[in-house]
């Protein structure tokens, strides 16, 4: 197993993923002068593109397995140039049109890279059981968390222009030194169709992933606003993000051992319960409570580690046991994850906009109450729903 290469590529890919949703709303609002409602509409609208292209990209990867290196080079180049244009190049024409075009390039490249990478899980593992997939996943998700930590903190040190340049370099570096990953292939028995995916248990995991990821998507979208405008800690968002993702990274070995001892189902329930406690506490905070929020970041970050580790591993395992092609399946997986991120932005940003919320200005009590409701309480309800789904999934979903 090429563990270092797995971690390195995961780091570059993750740096281009979740941090985009953390930084983009504020960057587009303050630097580009766009409203929160406009940014939310753009992110949600581009998911229509993903709805069409992700399954097609997955089919393409399965159809031409010997061209994976070419596909990887294409995806890496698109991601690197896309982030350079997004954060480091001033819009040469209408900012809205520029943002749409650049994000389309970034999202398409990210989709292709994600499908290729996650589709390699079975080939890079030593078996089809969940524990074997988790063994690969701990390297993949550990690298992902390092990439997220780096990308979440870079704007603090470099500003947005330097952030775009640094991301371009990181993505190119990760692509160059992860070439050994794409020499391994796996033979599958059956082409993917949605009926077979449902029968394998993959459909249930897609549903769980959507519900379970939505709280993280909402809190990621609103994180900077909550810290700077609700807690009134304008210089603390970056350090809090680092604490959050460092906690997630440190949790990976703990959740790996927990899954081996009590099983993936109970491990997920424990992590979801920790997330609920963290979000619930956040709803009670007022201005200036930095220490309490740091503890909340540790708890919620620790919970995130289990989600990142276990759910993709379970999905890989059910695909492998059913002998289904991974490319198209992870096209659906990629779409499900990105759809939740876009849905979060497309729903919560316009709501805040209608409540009169504006970042970096004085807001009314009603606007701040809406921010707290969306950031903390809505995610609690969604996590409770995710626990119920987890407890009702068939036993075969979690078994070798």
DSSP secondary structure letter of residue 250: H
Query: What's residue 124's pLDDT?
Result: 65
Binning pLDDT at 50, 70 and 90, where does residue 192 land? low
Query: What's residue 19's pLDDT?
Result: 65
Query: Alpha-carbon distance 359 to 222, whole Å?
Result: 11
Between residues 331 and 313, the one the model is more confident about = 313
Q: pLDDT > 70: what percent of the chain?
A: 88
Query: What's residue 387's pLDDT?
Result: 95
pLDDT tens per residue across span 119-147: 776 666 655 555 556 666 777 777 887 88
- Angle CA 18–296–392, to nearest 5: 70
Domain assignments of the chain as residue spans, ordered by start:
3-398
Binning pLDDT at 50, 70 and 90, where does residue 325 land? low
Q: 341: helix, coil or strand?
A: helix
pLDDT tens per residue across span 219-278: 988 888 899 889 998 878 878 888 888 898 889 889 989 988 998 899 999 999 999 999
The tokens 């991974």 sit on which residue? 326
Query: What's residue 372's pLDDT?
Result: 92
Region 98-127 average pLDDT: 81
Binning pLDDT at 50, 70 and 90, where does residue 395 land? confident
Question: In CATH, which of 1.20.1250.20, 3.40.50.12240, 2.40.50.140, 3.40.50.460 is domain 3-398?
Answer: 1.20.1250.20
CB atoms within 10 A of CB 92: 8
Q: What is the pTM of this model?
A: 0.76
Check whether 282 has a pLDDT greater than 90. Answer: yes
Q: Which residues of 53-87 are buried (b: 16+ CB within 10 A; e: fewer)?
A: bbbebbbbbbeebeebeebbebbbebbbbbbbbbb
**Contact indicator for 126, 114 with CB cutoff of 8 Å:** no
Ranges 172-176, 199-203, 208-212, 367-371: which has the least confidence: 199-203
pLDDT tens per residue across span 342-375: 778 778 888 888 888 877 678 788 888 999 999 9
Q: pLDDT > 90: what percent of the chain?
A: 25
For the chain, first and last CA: distance in Å?
20
What is the rounded average pLDDT for all residues in the chain? 83
């Amino acid at each position: 197993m090429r563990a270092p290469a797995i971690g390195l590529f995961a780091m570059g890919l993750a740096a281009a993923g979740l941090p985009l949703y953390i930084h983009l709303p504020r960057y587009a609002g303050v630097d580009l002068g766009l409203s929160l409602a406009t940014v939310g509409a753009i992110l949600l609208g581009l998911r229509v593109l993903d709805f069409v292209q992700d399954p097609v990209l997955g089919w393409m990867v399965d159809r031409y397995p010997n061209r994976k290196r070419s596909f990887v080079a294409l995806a890496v180049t698109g991601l690197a140039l896309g982030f350079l244009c997004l954060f480091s190049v001033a819009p040469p024409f209408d900012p809205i049109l520029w943002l749409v075009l650049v994000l389309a390039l970034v999202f398409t490249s990210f989709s292709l890279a994600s499908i290729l990478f996650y589709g390699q899980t079975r080939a890079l593992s030593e078996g089809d059981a969940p524990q074997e997939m988790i063994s690969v996943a701990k390297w993949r998700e550990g690298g992902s968390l390092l990439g997220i930590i780096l990308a979440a903190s870079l704007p603090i040190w470099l500003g947005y222009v330097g952030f775009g340049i640094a991301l371009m370099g990181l993505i190119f570096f990760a692509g160059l030194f992860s070439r050994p990953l794409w020499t391994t292939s796996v033979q599958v028995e059956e082409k993917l169709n949605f009926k077979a995916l449902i029968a394998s248990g993959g459909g249930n995991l897609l549903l769980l992933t959507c519900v379970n990821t939505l709280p993280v998507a909402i809190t990621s979208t609103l994180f900077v606003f909550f810290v700077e405008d609700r807690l009134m800690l304008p210089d603390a968002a970056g350090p809090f993000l680092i604490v959050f993702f460092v906690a997630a990274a440190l949790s990976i070995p703990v959740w790996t051992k927990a899954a081996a001892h009590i099983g993936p189902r109970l491990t997920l329930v424990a992590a979801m319960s920790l997330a609920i406690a963290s979000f619930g506490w956040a709803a009670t905070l007022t201005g200036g409570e930095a220490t309490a929020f740091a503890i909340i970041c540790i708890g919620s970050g620790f919970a995130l580690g289990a989600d990142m580790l276990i759910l993709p591993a379970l999905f890989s395992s059910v695909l492998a046991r059913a002998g289904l092609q991974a490319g198209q399946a992870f096209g659906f997986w990629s779409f499900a994850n990105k759809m939740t991120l876009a849905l979060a932005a497309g729903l919560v940003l316009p709501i805040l906009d209608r409540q009169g919320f504006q970042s970096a200005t004085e807001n009314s009590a009603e606007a701040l109450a809406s921010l707290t409701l969306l950031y903390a309480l809505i995610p609690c309800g969604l996590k409770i729903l995710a626990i119920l789904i987890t407890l009702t999934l068939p036993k075969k979903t979690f078994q070798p």
